[in-house]
Amino acid sequence: MSQSTNTTFLIIKKIWLRFAKPFRGLFLIAILLMIIVAASGAIYPAMMQQVFNYLAGEETLFKQNFLTVVLMGIIIIAMIKASAMYLQIITVNRFAQSIATSMQRKMMDHLVDSDLGVTTQNSSGTFVSRIMNDVNLIKEAVVRLSNNLVRDMLTILVMIGMLFWFDLWLSLLVLAIYPIAFQPIVRIGYKQRKYAENLQITMEHVTSDISEIIDGARMIKAFELEDKQKARASVMFDKLKSAYLSLLSGRARIDPLLEVLGGIAIAGVVGVASWRVGSGEMFVGDVVGFITALLMLVQPVRALGTLNAVTQEGVSAANRVIKLLDTKPRLKSDKNATHLKAEKVEINLKNVSFSYNSTPTIEDLNLQINEGETVALVGESGAGKSTVINLIPRFFDVGKGKISINNIDIRKLSIKSLREHIALISQDSILFNDTVSANICFGRINAREEDIKNAAKKAAADEFISELPEGYNTIVGPHGNLLSGGQRQRIAIARAILKDAPILLMDEATSALDAKSEKQVHNALEQTKKGRTCLIVAHRLATIKSADRVYVLESGKIIETGTHESLLKQKGAYAKMVLLQRFS
């Protein structure tokens, strides 16, 4: 057995054990129905034999009311076969769809639980393609495998049995011809796996590019990039077309090959049968019955011939799904993790270094935030400020050094309990396509309506929310695109206020607010910060004037530390930033 065959069987086995096995009851029902379909189909050639023997004056099984019995028999058999076939198609597709749905759920669960390092290294379109396109290929392969490998195989076995029942020599002639196609069909199938993988990769890129173009529509129009993006889309659709045609050409080779062999088989049968009828060794009814069985054999043989190609396409998709699901998160709670439970916390970063790739983002960073303190990080873009924000909730793990909360290394804390103690307000105010109320209460799922409104008031959001068509029950749209940037950010702030966590992380929390709203939110945050340990990242230095301590970062290192007033007196980097913003 070749390595490719071993790989195919291994992947199919994994799919069965991980996704299909829970639905094996449906599969067994489908097999029973397939047996009925195959058995009922076998009666047709026997009926044809009896009819033509009757017309030729030969002896038949039924002596009286022959035509009535045969005609009624054909109708009854047709009804039984049709009913079984209908139920079998429904059952097989339910089985395949159940597997597909299970895969999609597990892939979505896996992505939600994955490290940010995994989900951010590819575009969302890549993952959408795997969840939708790859799973659809697998579903098609499951349907074809169930139908062809079981129903058509049963039909083939039954029809071969009928052929031997009619005539031994003609049967041996047919069986000598069809296996000739086996080797080229297998070779075509293995090529199909490569073509299928290429198509899936191309589909990922196309889905990703379409997502980028749609999401960047505003920027495309602002910079008059319509023609460039149309050309870009045209090129990627041409690549998709080429990949699809390559896959299709492999499929297209199989049917003609089987058609030629089928023609040779029928020609051989007609020639040999004519000689045997002339010599009195066969009746006309036997020949008609044999040819009927042979013709009924052609379709399932043809379907079985294309099965390997479809299987390889499905196996290629399944391999990509399994690789994704087998990607283990590096960030996970230790088996003996401590469950953090504290109303007041202090945070300490000691000799912390981190790099996203090979270039260090922060190096040997030492930073202390005492209980109830507000500490601010300032610096130019790329100085490492947001990296510090990402490290504290363990979105990423430090490369070197240690981050501790209440003198406990955060790697020894359960991730769930760590993040329960943190409220994050980011410059990317992510909202989901749900109501305003639901988006706010992500901060505390079971929050009362009164608490939600109080949090909105503190975030200066209650006024505009009340003016929305459905108030707090208004759907905000995908990504919150039915609201302005400032409105989205105020809802995100309300969400953090509602969570009421002992640690408050603010990464450009007021960057999208107008002056009036910023003042309102600033006053609310000043009240919210009391008694909490706060870390603020801000370019607008007016928002950090009241911080207990300010750290100035440059290229991942602290170059200045002090209060707002003391740093101004130093007339260093911080004072220059303040001067540039015309702030005093």
Asked if residues 527 and 454 have their Cβ atoms less than 8 Å apart, the reply is no
State the chain's maximal CA–CA distance in angstroms.
Answer: 120
pLDDT score, position 519: 74
Closest CA relative to residue 257, chosen from 193, 311, 189 = 189
Percent of the chain with pLDDT over 90: 16
pLDDT score, position 559: 92
| Residues 405 and 530 reside in one and the same domain | yes
- Domain-embedded: residue 336: no
Q: What is the pLDDT of residues 80-138, one digit of tens each?
A: 988 998 999 899 999 999 999 999 999 888 888 888 777 777 777 778 888 888 888 88
pLDDT score, position 178: 65
- Residue 583's pLDDT band (cuts 50, 70, 90): very low
Q: Rounded distance, CA 360 to CA 399, Å?
A: 9
Spatial CB neighbours of 450, under 8 Å, sequence gap ≥ 6:
none
Helix (H, G, I), strand (E, B) or coil at 307: helix
Q: Rounded distance, CA 155 to CA 37, Å?
A: 8
Given a cut of 50, is residue 285 above it in pLDDT? yes
Given a cut of 70, is residue 332 above it in pLDDT? yes
User: How many helices (H) and strands (E) in the chain?
Assistant: 21, 10
| Residues 285 and 373 reside in one and the same domain | no
- Domain-embedded: residue 335: no
pLDDT score, position 351: 93
pLDDT score, position 59: 67
Pairing of strands 347-355, 400-405: antiparallel
Helix (H, G, I), strand (E, B) or coil at 557: strand
- Residue 1's pLDDT band (cuts 50, 70, 90): very low
pLDDT score, position 193: 66
Asked if residues 364 and 353 have their Cβ atoms less than 8 Å apart, the reply is yes
Closest CA relative to residue 416, chosen from 513, 519, 501, 516 = 501
Lowest mean per-residue pLDDT among 59-68, 168-177, 287-296, 552-561: 59-68
Q: What is the pLDDT of residues 164-204, one digit of tens each?
A: 887 787 778 777 766 665 566 666 666 766 777 777 778 77
Show which of 325, 355, 371 is a domain's final residue: 325
- Residue ranges of E strands in 215-309: none
Q: Rounded distance, CA 278 to CA 363, Å?
A: 96
Residue 337: Cβ within 10 Å count:
16
Asked if residues 473 and 506 have their Cβ atoms less than 8 Å apart, the reply is no
| Residues 431 and 461 reside in one and the same domain | yes
Which residue did the predictor score with more confidence, 89 or 41?
89
| Residues 373 and 473 reside in one and the same domain | yes
Percent of the chain with pLDDT over 70: 88
Tell me the CB-side half-sphere exposure of residue 9, using CA atoms within 13 A.
Answer: 6
Lowest mean per-residue pLDDT among 139-148, 165-174, 551-560: 165-174
Would you list the DSSP string of 55-91? Answer: HTT---S--SSHHHHHHHHHHHHHHHHHHHHHHHHHH
Show which of 273, 293, 325 is a domain's final residue: 325
| Residues 314 and 411 reside in one and the same domain | no
- Domain-embedded: residue 316: yes
Asked if residues 557 and 365 have their Cβ atoms less than 8 Å apart, the reply is yes
pLDDT score, position 350: 94
Show which of 325, 357, 379 is a domain's final residue: 325
The H or E element that residue 537 is part of is strand 533-537
| Residues 357 and 310 reside in one and the same domain | no
Closest CA relative to residue 505, chosen from 383, 423, 406, 391 = 423
- Domain-embedded: residue 333: no
Question: HEC states along 379-427?
Answer: ECCCCCHHHHHHHCCCCCCCCEEEEEECCEEHHHECHHHHHHCEEEECC
| Residues 270 and 387 reside in one and the same domain | no
Domain span holding position 36: 3-325
- Domain-embedded: residue 573: yes
> What CATH number corresponds to the domain at position 436?
3.40.50.300
- Domain-embedded: residue 334: no
| Residues 265 and 414 reside in one and the same domain | no
Query: CA 432 → CA 212, 233, 423, 478, 488, distances in Å?
Result: 19, 28, 18, 6, 11
Residue with tokens 């970062």: 553
pLDDT score, position 525: 73
* Number of domain units in the chain: 2
> What CATH number corresponds to the domain at position 320?
1.20.1560.10
pLDDT score, position 552: 92
Asked if residues 199 and 244 have their Cβ atoms less than 8 Å apart, the reply is yes
Q: Where are the alpha helices (DSSP H) in 114-181?
A: 116-119, 124-129, 135-144, 153-166, 168-177
| Residues 291 and 351 reside in one and the same domain | no
Q: Rounded distance, CA 369 to CA 152, Å?
A: 71
Tell me the average pLDDT across 251-255: 65
| Residues 463 and 498 reside in one and the same domain | yes
Would you list the DSSP string of 342-374? Answer: -SS--EEEEEEEEESSSSEEEEEEEEEE-TT-E
- Domain-embedded: residue 556: yes
- Domain-embedded: residue 340: no
Asked if residues 92 and 31 have their Cβ atoms less than 8 Å apart, the reply is no
| Residues 221 and 367 reside in one and the same domain | no
Q: What is the pLDDT of residues 201-250, one digit of tens each?
A: 787 778 777 777 777 776 777 667 788 888 888 888 888 888 878 777 76
Tell me the average pLDDT across 372-396: 88
Given a cut of 90, is residue 28 above it in pLDDT? yes
Given a cut of 90, is residue 495 above it in pLDDT? no
Would you list the DSSP string of 467-508? Answer: TSTTGGG-B--GGGTTS-HHHHHHHHHHHHHHH--SEEEEES
| pTM of this structure | 0.74
| Residues 440 and 528 reside in one and the same domain | yes
Q: What is the pLDDT of residues 396-445, one digit of tens each?
A: 888 899 999 999 999 999 988 998 898 888 877 778 888 999 889 877 88
- 245 backbone φψ class: left, alpha, beta (φ>0; ψ -120 to 50): alpha
Mean per-residue pLDDT of the chain: 81
Given a cut of 80, is residue 372 above it in pLDDT? yes
Q: Rounded distance, CA 201 to CA 126, Å?
A: 9
